[in-house]
Amino acid sequence: MRPWKTGRMPFRPVRSRPESDAAKSLTQPREQARHIAMRLDDAWLRFQTKLAIRRGRVETVIPYTGYGSTSWIRVLARVVRSDPRDAAGHANPLQESMRGWRNFTSAPVANAAVQVTVAGEVHHVVADRGGVVDARIPVALGAGWHTITLKSGESRTVEAPVEVVADDADFGVVSDIDDTVMVTALPRPFLAAWNTFVLNEHARTPTPGMAVLYERIARTAPSAPVLYLSTGAWNVAPTLSRFLSRNLYPAGPKLLTDWGPTPDRWFRSGQEHKKNSLERLADEFPTIKWLLVGDDGQHDEAIYSEFAQRHPENVKAIAIRQLSPGEAVLAGGRSKTGGQPTPGVPWIYAPDGAGMSARLEELGIIRGEVRSADDPEEGDVAKETA
């Protein structure tokens, strides 16, 4: 997999100094924790894999919506061992209602070799230890939506939509999901577990007015990419896609993460995932100014303001949804730091999509025309099924 970041300073070795006893005493617990976390995760993966094979689970590629430019695309997918009935697309209503739980517990195929076909040209990529495929592939494609195919081992060949952004694009949207387009109250443990692992997309509640807001943005700038950035795990991407489609949100890639351990911590940092994703987008699309949409319940304000301070040329505006008192309690309170000053980058606050829409119209970012019925929705292009 090729590195995405360009323009880094060359590495220069630094002469090491003898480590003090105090430093060693601080480092050793972290090293021990790292080793324990990775060993436990490896043991769990081996157990999952053996159990899945014994139960007749088959290798399956779950495709996610990708994106890119006319010269490269980012391919996103996950390879797991799943029930043959699910792999073939046959599921009764009860199985469908439990799909979110099965997605989360399916055994990943670590380091799976995946064949990606783009415009008749075959590329070979490798999944990571969690079965996630995140590869950048050189292409020569026109702007718009394209379909690629993926296959791993004896798996069924599946299709994945890819949005190719025009070279002259200058506007796009990066949107949070939890408590921004979907009311989740995620930090509340039992409710979060129920929403994430058990209930399907029919039981999730859309945020009032947000789908209409995004539709207005889409008709104002039909070619603007819309990306959904969340700290949620890749396991629930199919459920999120069905939710967005059912509630008429614009089609767009989902940038999710893996909840597994890293070499230096038990769980991955959701904040770091969002920061790194924004930095990557700034590097990949240097001419695009992003409308950053989030809420005031967790860390969106701080993350967005930090990004705007570093890359003011890449931020059109920042729109923050104000949680209701009840939502704020369930979300663990409101952000205490808020957004820091970002000269030249306007901020707007509103409790729902209608309020945001009015403010963005005042800024001239959206207008009130009716979008053509021929414009695709999420359900027309995203074929992310478990």
User: Tell me: the pLDDT tens digits for 238-263?
Assistant: 888 989 999 999 999 999 987 665 55
pLDDT at residue 189 in the model: 53
- 6 pLDDT higher than 70: no
**pLDDT class of 185 with cuts at 50, 70, 90:** low
Residue 249 belongs to some domain of the structure: yes
**Strands, DSSP E only, in the chain?**
58-63, 66-68, 72-82, 107-108, 113-118, 121-126, 132-138, 144-152, 158-164, 171-176, 182-183, 205-206, 226-233, 254-257, 289-295, 315-321, 347-350
Pick the last residue of a domain from 107, 137, 164.
164
- For residue 109, the domain's CATH number is 2.60.40.10
**pLDDT class of 11 with cuts at 50, 70, 90:** very low
CB 208 within 8 A of CB 79: no
Residue 125 belongs to some domain of the structure: yes
Residue 51 belongs to some domain of the structure: no
Share of the chain above pLDDT 70, in %: 68
Q: What tokens were used for 382?
A: 């995203």
pLDDT at residue 16 in the model: 41
pLDDT tens column, 125-163: 999 988 999 999 999 999 999 999 999 999 999 999 999
Same domain, 341 and 207: yes
Pick the last residue of a domain from 115, 134, 164.
164
CB 126 within 8 A of CB 111: yes
**pLDDT class of 12 with cuts at 50, 70, 90:** very low
pLDDT at residue 50 in the model: 83
pLDDT at residue 135 in the model: 98
Pick the last residue of a domain from 103, 135, 164.
164
Taking the C-alpha atoms of residue 267 and residue 257, their distance in angstroms, rounded to an integer, is 11
Backbone phi, psi, residue 104, to 5°: -75, -30
Same domain, 158 and 184: no
Same domain, 317 and 341: yes
Same domain, 230 and 158: no
- 32 pLDDT higher than 90: no
CB 313 within 8 A of CB 289: yes
Domain hosting residue 79, numbered range: 58-164
Same domain, 175 and 271: yes
Residue 36 belongs to some domain of the structure: no
Same domain, 156 and 206: no
Same domain, 194 and 314: yes
> For residue 254, which of 239, 269, 270 has the smallest C-alpha distance?
239
pLDDT tens column, 49-99: 788 788 888 899 999 999 999 999 999 999 999 877 766 554 544 455 555
CB 84 within 8 A of CB 56: yes
Same domain, 189 and 94: no
Residue 12 belongs to some domain of the structure: no
- Which of 30-34, 105-109, 167-171, 193-197 is predicted least confidently? 30-34
- For residue 375, the domain's CATH number is 3.40.50.1000
**Most confident listed range (57-66, 104-113, 183-192, 293-302):** 57-66
Residue 71 belongs to some domain of the structure: yes
* Sequence-ordered list of residues with C-beta below 8 angstroms from that of 196, at least 6 positions apart, any chain: 100, 104, 232, 236
For residue 94, with 0-12 CB atoms within 10 Å meaning exposed, 13-18 middle and 19 or more buried, which class applies? exposed
Same domain, 261 and 345: yes
27 vs 56 pLDDT, higher one: 56
Residue 9 belongs to some domain of the structure: no
Same domain, 219 and 322: yes
**pLDDT class of 1 with cuts at 50, 70, 90:** very low
359 vs 234 pLDDT, higher one: 359
- 355 pLDDT higher than 60: yes
Residue 152 belongs to some domain of the structure: yes
Q: Which residues pair with 114 in a beta bridge?
A: 125, 152
Same domain, 151 and 180: no
- 43 pLDDT higher than 60: yes
- To the nearest whole number, what is the mean pLDDT of the chain? 80
Same domain, 330 and 189: yes
Query: How many domains does the chain divide into?
Result: 2
